[in-house]
Amino acid sequence: MFALMDRFLSNDPVSLQKDILDHVEYTVARSRFSFDDFEAYQALAHSVRDRLIERWHDTQQYFKRKDPKRLYFLSLEFLMGRSLSNSVINLGIRDQCADALSQLGFEYEVLAEQEGDAALGNGGLARLSACQMDSLATLDYPAWGYGLRYQYGLFRQVILDGFQHEQPDYWLNFGNPWEIERVHVSYPVKFYGTVEEETLNGKSCKVWLPGETVEAVAYDNPIPGYGTRNTINLRLWAAKPDGQYDMESYNTGDYINAVVNRQRAETISCVLYPDDRSYQGKELRLKQHYFFVSASLQDIIRRFKDGHNNFDDFPEKVALQLNDTHPSLAVVEVMRVLVDEEHLGWDQAWNIVCRIFSFTTHTVLPEALEKIPVDLLGSLLPRHLQIIYDINFNFMEELKKRIGLDFNRLSQMSIVEEGAVKSIRMANLSIVCSHTVNGVSRMHSELLKTRVFKDFYELWPHKFQYKTNGVTQRRWIVVSNPSLCALISKWLGTEAWIRDIDLLIGLQEFAADADLHQEWKMVRKVNKMRLAEYIEAMSGVKVSLDAMFDVQIKRIHEYKRQLLNILSIIHRYDCIKNMEKTQRRKVVPRVCIVGGKAAPGYEVAKKIIKLCHAVAEKINNDADVGDLLKLIFVPDYNVSVAELVIPGADLSQHISTAGHEASGTGCMKFLMNGCLLLATADGSTVEIIEEIGEENMFLFGAKVHEVPALREKSSDHKAPLQFSHVVRMVRDGHFGFKDYFKSLCDGVEGDSDFYLLGSDFASYLEAQAAADKAFVDQEKWTQMSILSTAGSGRFSSDRTIEDYAETTWGIEPCKCPS
Ligand code: 26Q
């Protein structure tokens, strides 16, 4: 027998180098004397993967032995980005890897750039899941993530002539070293068919005879914690044709058709749906939901039964988190399995369901709440529809006892929506079946209680919680901004803040220290240089490092008001053009950077992208303007682009109409990196104001309680003259494409200015002017920047996860011995 320790791979540069060379030869199958950057990346990735697998095994065995209550985090989307850079940081082997590689003639940073993003998600919600997985692992919680292994991630954005085009993201083209295929972990998932009534031991029960069965195969993605051996699992499901099916073929044509038809099963996990909140009720999307839910629950229940022989203590061992309504069929599926397959009584099953689920909603708008047409659900999942009706019947009976025959309220709270298209309201279903419901910022949770789910709040006030989002400082400082990371550690005298974010507040005491200012400015300059090089390589535009880098990167949405930003850039341009030459010397130079994807079917968002390009074309080629103003659109915005852009930003914009952004998490990443915020009081920025003080950011715009009255107000009193002027410039074809932009202009003028661009314009310009003024005083600016980082501690996902663990999931750390 080998001694136990001999099993572990060593992390010194010599051992790493040997492992890398072995992988070059045996995994990548190249000569160890001749391999390129990509092959070196692959070999390095496999060497890191080996180390992850060791830790993964130890952690899972430890969890199994200790049998703690586990959290299962169900999400249709995870936006992981790159894995190499994150893994080497969390394993603590970055420098050793860099050493090992440099002796082989490779540069670590260059190899890390070889990796493409894992983009199995759209935006905020999906990146939040990824940050939360990092915190769950780091804080040693016994948790698993479950999701779908899409073959195509979020579409790639290609810009041609200023227009967005979508291209498929076939991210698995070059293999994926970060996943482990588990061909033996697979489950059948049933669809369609009929429900029959049968008698079992004298009791009648329901049997679902499916019309189609598809196999779900597991792919495990190890998620390492930082500064701990714990490595948790993200299990993603891929659809494969069912192995059981016996094909009968009478001739070659039948046989070929049968195989081709079976292959269609794979379409279920083929592609991620772009976030288009109005694009609902599609059969394939519903199939994805159930496929993922059914496979995950079979896996969870199998694990539970291995060690427990009845379901009484299921709620003591299992917490299930619904990441928005997308996985909410899980509540129905648990009922079905417990009642139909495990033969528990309805009441006992219901009691279990009500104790295991918690639900987070990420939306503000009632119209964005998911609804599934009853016809669609009944055909795809006939038994589930029956169960939903039963749940709703019981709920309505209980409700009548509580509120009487108030039919208006009863029908609004019902899980079933009667109307032209009879539908199931997935949010109502989730609230009824969960013990806890939460919004993602304080303001969002208040809006849920007072508007969106008011009736439910009055019925069950105890169910409602708020959990302000957070982001992981491991990826958003340590990985993406190594020089700032080193600087923070130097001044705090410790690296402990990487696990204990509250320590960042210690920077406050040095906020006026001249030496820190010097070093802080240096770090910021180096990051701006890196960003400027990227901008030049990508767009050909040379930008001045003395300019203020002003960034708005996020999905393109009307409520996020990228259009407001572009209109103010036009205003700035117009002002510069109309100035005397001598006056221009006083202008604070700006590089405005905008990036983000528009959902493929979202016409208005696509027009905003085109307008941005049209305005950029004009400004960037105007010799009068020169370095005073540049506008850059960063194409194909994703996690890796964010890692480059955020550390290089001086100012970032979070300017949604108050009451529309549930939380926003981009602002937290900028804040941690010492970027100043120009923002409305919306979502989580309200809490950022409380942490760093209004004087350290640039606030503007209507407050949430003012919005309804402003919408009512007659159009003549809303918009200032400057606003009408810039809109007129677009209307008159100053930037070309007059007809194409007409509808954009119509949408923000007169009574149709739903997102209040006109009424917020004047105060927006004031905030912009305040930012210019502050930028001139670089010492003041640097102090505000340091205070931003120092005050960002509350916005770590570590804080969010600890809060969920204690007050929602009831789980405790389970630390695998090192
Ligand atoms: C729905 C139906 C059909 C197809 C797609 C969808 C779909 C997919 C993704 C609907 C919504 C989403 C994503 C929503 C989202 O990202 N919301 C954001 O969540 C963040 C994390 O909580 C918040 O910070 C943002 O404010 C919120 O907009």
Taking the centre of ligand 1 as the mean of its atom positions, its distance from the CA of residue 491, in whole angstroms, is 38
Number of Cβ within 10 Å of residue 196's Cβ equals 10
Report if residue 815 sits inside a domain: no
Record the pTM: 0.97
What distance in angstroms lies between residue 343's CA and the mean position of ligand 1's atoms? 37
Identify whether 557 is a catalytic site residue: no
Cβ(541)–Cβ(634) under 8 Å? Answer: no
Q: Which residue has the CA at smallest separation from atom 14 of ligand 1? A: 125
Whether 476 is covered by a domain: the verdict is: no
Residue 8 pLDDT: 85
Are residues 436 and 295 part of one domain?
yes
pLDDT computed for residue 313 by the predictor: 95
**For a substitution probing ligand 1, which of 77, 78, 277, 685 has the most ligand atoms within 8 Å of its CB?**
277
User: Both tokens of residue 247?
Assistant: 């094909």
Residues 100 and 149 in one domain: no
Instruction: Provide the pLDDT for residue 688.
Output: 98
Tell me if 722 sits within 8 A of 761, measured CB to CB. yes
Query: Ligand 1 atom closest to Cα of 662?
Result: 26
Orientation angle between helical segments 37-66 and 94-103, nearest 10 degrees: 150
Domain assignment of residue 610, yes or no? yes
Residues 58 and 126 in one domain: no
Q: Which of 70, 555, 610, 630 is catalytic?
A: 555
Which one from 70, 235, 240, 362 is the annotated catalytic residue?
362
User: Whose structure tokens read 């314009």?
Assistant: 761
660 CB within 6 A, ligand 1: no
Residue 249's pLDDT band (boundaries 50, 70, 90)? Answer: low
Residue 208 has pLDDT above 80, yes or no: yes
Q: What pLDDT does residue 716 have?
A: 61
CA of 559 to the centre of ligand 1 (A): 13
Atom of ligand 1 nearest to the CA of 279: 3
Residue range of the domain that includes 132 = 71-79+121-467
Q: How many whole angstroms separate alpha carbon 659 and alpha carbon 447?
A: 8
pLDDT given at position 246: 58
| Residue labelled with tokens 């010194």 | 12
Do the domain assignments include residue 571? yes
Q: 525 an active-site residue?
A: no
Kindly state whether residue 494 falls inside one of the protein's structural domains.
no
Same domain, 519 and 394: no
Work out the percent of the chain whose per-residue pLDDT is above 70: 97
The predicted-structure confidence for 715-766, as pLDDT tens digits, reads as follows 666 799 999 999 999 999 999 999 999 999 999 998 899 999 999 999 999 9
Averaged pLDDT for residues 45-62? 98
Give Cα separations from 595 to 218, 556, 736, 756, 768 (angstroms): 34, 8, 21, 22, 19
Would the CB of 663 count as within 6 Å of ligand 1?
Answer: yes
* 560 belongs to the catalytic site: yes
> Whole-number mean pLDDT of the chain?
96
Q: How far is the CA of 276 from the centre of ligand 1 (A)?
A: 9
- Is the model's pLDDT at 4 over the cut of 60? no
Kindly provide the ipTM of the predicted complex, given to two decimals.
0.99
User: 554, 630, 660, 718: which is the annotated catalytic residue?
Assistant: 554
pLDDT at 1 over 50: no
- Alpha-carbon distance of 408 to 426, in angstroms, equals 19
Q: Is residue 721 part of a domain?
A: yes
The Å distance, Cα 363 to ligand 1 centre, comes to: 7
Ligand 1 atom with the shortest distance to the CA of 469: 22
Same domain, 75 and 91: no
Q: Give the pLDDT confidence of 161-170 residue by residue, as tens digits.
A: 999 999 999 9
Segment 415-440, tens digit of pLDDT: 999 999 999 999 999 999 999 999 99
Does residue 75 sit in the same domain as residue 38?
Answer: no
715 is a domain residue: yes
Region 113-134 average pLDDT: 98
- The pLDDT, as a whole number, for residue 3 is 47
Examine the domain organization and report whether 144 and 103 are in the same domain.
no
| Centroid of ligand 1 to alpha carbon of 740 (angstroms) | 28
Residue with CA closest to ligand 1 atom 12: 275
- Is 362 a catalytic site residue? yes
51: confidence class by pLDDT, cuts 50, 70, 90: very high
Q: Which of 79, 292, 362 to mutate to test the pocket of ligand 1 (most atoms within 8 A of CB)?
A: 362
pLDDT at 296: 98
391 pLDDT more than 50:
yes
Atom of ligand 1 nearest to the CA of 326: 1
Q: Residue 203: which pLDDT band, with cuts at 50, 70 and 90?
A: confident
385 has a pLDDT exceeding 80: yes
| 666, 791: one domain | yes
Give the pLDDT of residue 245.
59
Residues 797 and 673 in one domain: yes
Do both 453 and 512 map to the same domain? no
Whether 682 lines ligand 1, by a CB cut-off of 6 Å, is no
620-649 confidence digits (pLDDT tens): 999 999 999 999 999 999 999 999 999 999
* pLDDT of 6 higher than 60: no
The pLDDT tens digits for 333-379 are 999 999 999 999 999 999 999 999 999 999 998 888 999 999 999 99
Cα of 378 to ligand 1 centre, how many Å?
26
Averaged pLDDT for residues 117-127:
97
169/98 same-domain check:
no
Ligand 1 touching residue 664 (CB < 6 A): yes
What is the pLDDT at residue 252? 73
State how many domains the chain has. 3
Domain containing residue 777: CATH number: 3.40.50.2000
Average pLDDT over residues 534-552: 97
Question: Quick one: three-class SS letters along 260-285?
Answer: HHHHHHHHHHCECCCCCCCCCCCHHH
CA of 278 relative to ligand 1 center, distance in Å: 12
- Mean pLDDT within 189-205: 92
Residues 408 and 509 in one domain: no
> Is ligand 1 within 6 A of the CB of residue 440?
yes
Confirm whether 177 is domain-assigned.
yes
Cα(46)–Cα(448) distance, rounded to whole angstroms?
Answer: 46
